[in-house]
């Protein structure tokens, strides 16, 4: 109970036994999913989970912290390539892929710390933060795209320019007897699902802690937050590093899942997609971001199968419609709907004595 209370607070929408009941049911259904379908489909479903980490990280940076980073894909790609380089050079035995995962995520965290230091301690905010981060991811994309020649390699790992890097081993867990190879199959599905649940709960703890209080305070009024004795720059930097490490984790999971990473994963289109997921779902809340991202990824997949080139246009349209109609996000609006309907009647009664609370 005590743990549950720390997961709840003013910074997250879902609370109470009803919400946690539905959440447990959703996890149970997700856990039962491999029993209902074949291993190939299960393996493909992991793809959807892989992106959610980046979306949750952006939700933290943008929705909670108020800093719009347009370049989370830079960290996605950096960690993806780092995973490829380490595993192609050192192999997958003795749990090395897990070390590679840690190193790759650490590389993103470190890069975010350096970049973030100059951004936040240089007091670059608002639209300029978006411009600089977008420029960074585009520079990464351009750079990797021109590494086609044989001279571009790190040890045995060829960078391969626009065609991207491939053939890195999947995640491997050391196991007595024989190593457990997590190729896109049921075991990897469960590992990714568990990681997602842990990340979601961890972020809920974080945003409902005193740290979370400060980052939303900075979003609302950085000057006031400073005048309450908080070093705004440090909090912004910490938020950026955590969110970017999550983007890096997405990159590693994606790369090890598909055994493939290309520069286009850091391009303009790729960079715009997380912003659409988070904005359409509802950037102000972790749950709406999670649900929105999964829904949008599913819809996008469906559209690419049946409408190919129109899928991106539809995504752009969806963003515009969301911003115009439900600026807090579609899923957020759905979340609030029952409360709003329930509140309407008592509110009419209150109208007899307006401002009673205010007086």
Partner 1 sequence: MALLETRGLNKRFGGLQVTSDVDLALEAGELHCLIGPNGAGKSTLFRLILGEFPPTSGAVFYDGQDVTRLQPHERIRRGISVKFQVPGIFASLSVAQNLEIALQHHLAGHGLRGEVRRLLGFLNLAGAAAEPAGNLSHGQKQWLEIGMAVSLKPKLLLLDEPTAGMSPEETRATGEMVRALNRDGVTVLAVEHDMAFVRQVATRVTVLHFGRIFAQGSIDAIVADERVAEIYLGRGHGERGAPQPAGGEAKRG
Decide whether 176 or 229 has the Cβ nearer to partner 1.
229
Token readout for 104 is 């790759």
Helix axes 310-325, 286-307, angle to 10 degrees: 150
User: Rounded to whole angstroms, how far apart are CA atoms 57 and 55?
Assistant: 5
User: Rounded to whole angstroms, how far apart are CA atoms 90 and 357?
Assistant: 66
Residues in binding contact with partner 1, number by CB under 8 A: 22
Decide whether 344 or 356 has the Cβ nearer to partner 1.
356
User: Rounded to whole angstroms, how far apart are CA atoms 129 and 68?
Assistant: 7
Decide whether 200 or 235 has the Cβ nearer to partner 1.
235
What does the per-residue mask of binding to partner 1 show for 81-120, with x meaning CB under 8 A? ----------------------------------------
User: Based on the number of CB atoms within 10 Å of its own CB, is 1 exposed (0-12), middle (13-18) or buried (19 or more)?
Assistant: exposed
CA 48 to chain CA centroid, Å, is 11
Decide whether 142 or 224 has the Cβ nearer to partner 1.
224
Q: For residue 36, give Cα distances in angstroms to 9, 31, 187, 301.
A: 36, 10, 15, 20
Site for partner 1 in 3-22 (CB under 8 A): 10
What does the per-residue mask of binding to partner 1 show for 152-191, with x meaning CB under 8 A? ----------------------------------------
Query: Which residues contact residue 214 at a Cβ distance below 8 angstroms, ignoring those fewer than 6 apart?
Result: 225, 230, 235
Decide whether 93 or 350 has the Cβ nearer to partner 1.
350
Give the nearest distance from C-beta 284 to partner 1 in angstroms: 9
Q: Find where tokens 């800093």 sit.
A: 67
b vs e for 33-51, b when ≥16 Cβ sit within 10 Å of the residue's Cβ?
ebeeeeeeebbebbbbbbb
User: Among 272, 271, 214, which Cα is nearest to 238's?
Assistant: 214
Give the nearest distance from C-beta 288 to partner 1 in angstroms: 16
Give the nearest distance from C-beta 220 to partner 1 in angstroms: 4
Give the nearest distance from C-beta 285 to partner 1 in angstroms: 13
Decide whether 227 or 324 has the Cβ nearer to partner 1.
227
Site for partner 1 in 300-359 (CB under 8 A): 356-359
CB 239 within 8 A of CB 64: yes
Site for partner 1 in 280-299 (CB under 8 A): none
Give the nearest distance from C-beta 124 to partner 1 in angstroms: 17
Decide whether 178 or 357 has the Cβ nearer to partner 1.
357
Identify the H or E element spanning 144: helix 127-145
Give the nearest distance from C-beta 350 to partner 1 in angstroms: 12
Give the nearest distance from C-beta 216 to partner 1 in angstroms: 6
Site for partner 1 in 203-262 (CB under 8 A): 210, 213-214, 216-217, 220-221, 223-232
Residues in contact with partner 1 by the rule CB under 8 A: 10, 210, 213-214, 216-217, 220-221, 223-232, 356-359
């Amino acid at each position: 109970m005590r743990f549950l209370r720390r997961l709840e607070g003013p910074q997250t929408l879902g609370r109470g036994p009803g919400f946690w009941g539905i959440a447990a049911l959703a996890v149970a259904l997700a856990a039962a999913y491999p029993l209902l379908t074949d291993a190939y489909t299960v393996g493909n479903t992991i793809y959807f989970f892989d992106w959610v980490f980046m979306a949750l990280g952006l939700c933290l940076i943008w929705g909670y912290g108020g800093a719009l980073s347009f370049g989370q894909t830079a960290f996605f790609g950096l960690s993806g390539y780092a995973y490829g380089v380490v595993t192609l050079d050192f192999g997958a035995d003795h749990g090395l892929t897990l070390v590679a995962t840690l190193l790759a995520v650490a590389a993103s965290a470190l890069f975010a710390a350096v970049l973030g230091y100059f951004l936040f301690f240089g007091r670059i905010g608002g639209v300029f933060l978006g411009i600089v981060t977008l420029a960074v991811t585009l520079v990464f994309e351009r750079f990797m795209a021109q590494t086609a020649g044989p001279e571009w390699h790190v040890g045995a790992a060829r960078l391969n320019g626009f065609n991207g890097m491939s053939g890195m081993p999947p995640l491997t867990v050391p196991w007595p007897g024989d190593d457990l190879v997590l190729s896109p199959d049921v075991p990897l599905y469960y590992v990714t699902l568990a990681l997602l649940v842990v990340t979601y709960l961890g972020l809920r703890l974080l945003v409902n802690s005193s740290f979370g209080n400060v980052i939303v305070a900075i979003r609302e009024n950085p000057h006031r937050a400073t005048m309450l004795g908080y070093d705004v720059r440090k909090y912004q930097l910490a938020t950026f590093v955590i969110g970017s490490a999550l983007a890096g984790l997405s990159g590693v999971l994606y790369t090890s899942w598909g055994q493939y990473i290309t520069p286009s994963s850091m391009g303009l289109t790729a960079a715009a997609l997380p912003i659409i997921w988070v904005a359409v779902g509802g950037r102000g809340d972790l749950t709406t971001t999670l649900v929105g991202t999964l829904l949008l990824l599913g819809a996008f997949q469906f559209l690419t199968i049946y409408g190919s080139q129109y899928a991106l246009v539809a995504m752009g349209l969806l963003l515009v419609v969301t911003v115009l109609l439900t600026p807090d996000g579609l899923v957020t609006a759905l979340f609030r709907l029952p409360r709003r309907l329930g509140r309407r009647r008592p509110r009419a009664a209150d109208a007899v004595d307006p401002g009673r609370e205010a007086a």
